[in-house]
Structure 1
Amino acid sequence: MTEALKKTPLAEEHEKLGAKMVPFGGWYMPVQYTGLVEEHTAVREKAGLFDVSHMGEVRVTGKDAVAFVDHLTVNQVTKLVDGQAHYTAFCKPDGTVIDDLLVYRIGPEELLLVINAGNIDKDVAWIERHVGDFDVIVKNESNAIAQIAIQGPLAEEILQRICPEDLSQINYYWFVHTSIKGLPTLVSRTGYTGEDGFECYCSADHGVRLWNLLLETGREDGLIPAGLGARDTLRLEARMHLYGNDMDETTHILEAGLGWIVKLKNSPEFIGKEQIRAQKKAGLDRRLVGFEVKGRGIARQGYPIVHEDRDVGRVTSGTHSPTLKKAIGLGYVPLALTEPGTVFHVRIRNKLVEAEVVKGPFYKRA
């Protein structure tokens, strides 16, 4: 089974650490090491280390690089300066979501796009299809790059011991190119956990060395490896979207609550702009909401959301929050049910369990 799956450069290291390995989006990945709750708690209280080398990286170079990626994505790339990144999305002409991604501005003629692992082939084909007359070179570097994330309140202190750059001077969604013990590395203050932390990009050939160097450096502070299980509970507590669950090509970007990344005013034309503007003017029929389960049970992906004896939506993500000690979830509901405090039910194992809409992230660090 595992022979047909793609492996990151760190697969053998995960096996040596006793990780439970599972298929994930076509990849052979660690779901947990010592246990989901322990790994989750380490990230919230100390630090955790994630292998995210399955993510895709596409480099766009050339004199039209900024204009081209501005055409492809909904956020405004022209607002970025060298060393800055932002969160954005590819949309189809009808405003539905092809993928969400990060854009790093390396220079005026060079951008790095970080895309979801399960969408690499689809995204690269979409990017290449729209090159047209833009003077750019598109290069899929996904197999050449390892990505390791160190996340948690002690992440900066641990990484600083081996990084020559002053990490305290790197703001959220900014990055630097540096050398960590001789390993050329892009260090970015970004992450998918709701905690402070960094994502480190290096050559795939250097991935094992960087992983072990970080583990060794942080061991005395309680840094432990963390798997996909903790990554999912952490991102859900922070109310960060997961493509394929909380949005996909059937989901309009405004329904997904991502209007804040869509720049409609004073921005270049991008794919889907007119349709998104029209949808904003016409209004939505449904929207993604966060909710807390008030009764017993966990609202899992796909469970029906029920109001007045009618199925009105579906849970897109759901778990028991290790931090909050309660069940939480995301799901699409009609607009009339989106106000905080609104009560509906989730059908959990054929029982209707009460849930309440809540505003903002479930967890926010101090």
Structure 2
Amino acid sequence: MSDLRTSPLHERHENLGASFTPFGPWTMPLKYGNELDEHRAVRSTAGLFDLSHMGEIRVTGPQAGEFLDHALISTLSSIPVGKAKYSMIVNEEGGILDDLISYRLADDEYLVVPNAGNTDVVWEAFQARAEGFDVELADESLDTALIAVQGPRAEQIIADLVAGEDETVVRGMKYYSAAPLNVAGFDVLLARTGYTGEDGYELYLPNAGAGELWDALLNAGAAYDLLPAGLAARDSLRLEAGMPLYGQELGTDITPVEAGMARAFAGKEADFVGRAALDGREPESAIVGLKGLGRRAAREGAEVFREDEKVGVVTSGQPSPVLGHPIALARLHPEFSEPGMSLEVDIRGKRHPVETVALPFYRRSDS
């Protein structure tokens, strides 16, 4: 791991007893104690995540919106200032290079957040696609820390760390919105987004203040039983929430059509890279939720069958800590994507029954 990048919070994680794992070009906390406890804390109270491995690319200039309309499959030029949009970037053949979130910070300014392992790919694609646009690009990934507070008590924890009328901003912020705010004495971009299926916030700031802000969030959260949480809990949480992970559900071998994102460019007026390959495309597969009817969990790579016909493969799977039964995401032939279909998965040479279900597997009570 010596050649891997470390987060500006790495020493904090070591002091908390974290175990680490490689993730893209980074080494990041896998867990601090028991990953099931961390998962359940996010579902019941709150969890604190270090996401500083994520990328941050700032896009500015008179044609910033038009450039992103060209570079991504969605229409970014029409989203209001202070709002965010989930989208994808594809190659000329329509294969997904990454899924990412873009925040509109001003009329001529956006912050685009790629996945950790794809930041360099997105950066190179942006540079190539910027030709002819009046736009400036800045890769701020290595200078920016990202901390997330996720869970039912996240709003109260952040509200405890802001002053005066800023509490109204925190409590009134809508999902997929963002605003500059001072939290615990640090100027951050506060976004009400996340990857857990719970309410929560993400805080972007320069590396220099990350340690002190982490400490402040950890201390404020102690009154609400907040736990620091690692990548293991983040993965099980996103799976319960039915959210795809690049490298498992998503990749260059699948297009947004198969990923259920055709709506992102339906009716889009602007041309974009990959459009010719996507317009009119019929899906060759679908990402489908599977509920295990036994106790064994299907893992990535397990084959899915309908009687003697192979109909797809599991991309992610494990026992659900909250639901009490195995769950999985799978790429299946589209005709097997409707909820309520009886299928089988091959787990170490033995077939186990599963049922297709609507996503997400888990939905929080107030959503």
TM tier, smaller: over 0.9
Q: Which residue of 1 aligns with 2:357?
A: 358
Residue 191 (structure 1) aligned to one of 186, 189, 194: 194
Code of the residue aligned with 1:339 in structure 2: it is E
The structure 2 residue matched to 1:247, chosen from 240, 246, 250, is: 250
- Distance in 2 of aligned mates of 1:38 and 1:265: 44
Separation in structure 2 between the aligned mates of residue 264 and residue 335 of structure 1, nearest angstrom: 19
Matched, 1:277 2:276: no
Alignment correspondent of 1:153:
152
The residue that corresponds to 1:92 in the other structure is 91
Structure 1 gap ranges (5+)? none
In 2: Cα distance, 1:126 partner to 1:105 partner: 20
In structure 1, the partner of 2:292 is: 293
Name 1:82's counterpart in structure 2.
Answer: 81
Is 2:348 aligned against 1:345? no
| Counterpart contact for 2:311–2:336, Cα < 8 Å | no
For the residues of structure 2 that align with 1:181 and 1:346, how far apart are their CA atoms? 49
Shift of 1:266: 4.5
Q: Is the 8 A contact 1:264 1:273 kept in 2?
A: no
Give the fraction of aligned pairs with identical amino acids, expressed as a percent. Answer: 40
Match of 2:231 among 224, 228, 236: 228
CA contact (8 A) 1:188 1:198 kept: yes
Aligned to 1:50: 49
Q: Give 1:169 shift.
A: 1.2
TM-score w.r.t. length of structure 1: 0.96
In 1: Cα distance, 2:229 partner to 2:351 partner:
34
Residue identity opposite 1:276 in structure 2: L
CA contact (8 A) 2:63 2:108 kept: yes
Q: Residue 20 in 1 paired to residue 19 in 2?
A: yes
Query: Which residue in 2 is equivalent to 1:258?
Result: 261
Residue matched to 1:115: 114
Deviation string for 1:90-141 (max 9, x for gaps)?
Answer: 0122222110000010111111000000011111011101111101111100
Inter-partner Cα distance in structure 2 for 1:239 and 1:364: 9
Give the 5 Å matches for 1:133-152. 133-152=132-151
Separation in structure 2 between the aligned mates of residue 77 and residue 218 of structure 1, nearest angstrom: 35
Contact 1:296/1:353 (<8 A) preserved? no
The separation in 2 between residues aligned to 1:226 and 1:250, in whole angstroms, is 31
**Unaligned runs of at least 5 residues, structure 2:** none
TM-score normalised by L of structure 2: 0.96
Q: Which residue of 2 aligns with 1:335?
A: 334
Alpha-carbon separation, structure 1, partners of 2:330 and 2:321: 20
Q: Which amino acid aligns with 1:295?
A: G
Equivalent residues, number: 361
Cα distance in structure 1, aligned partners of 2:127 and 2:152: 40
Question: Would you say 1:210 and 2:209 are equivalent positions?
Answer: no
CA distance in 2, matches of 1:253, 1:263: 9
The 2-side partners of 1:176 and 1:285 are apart by: 40
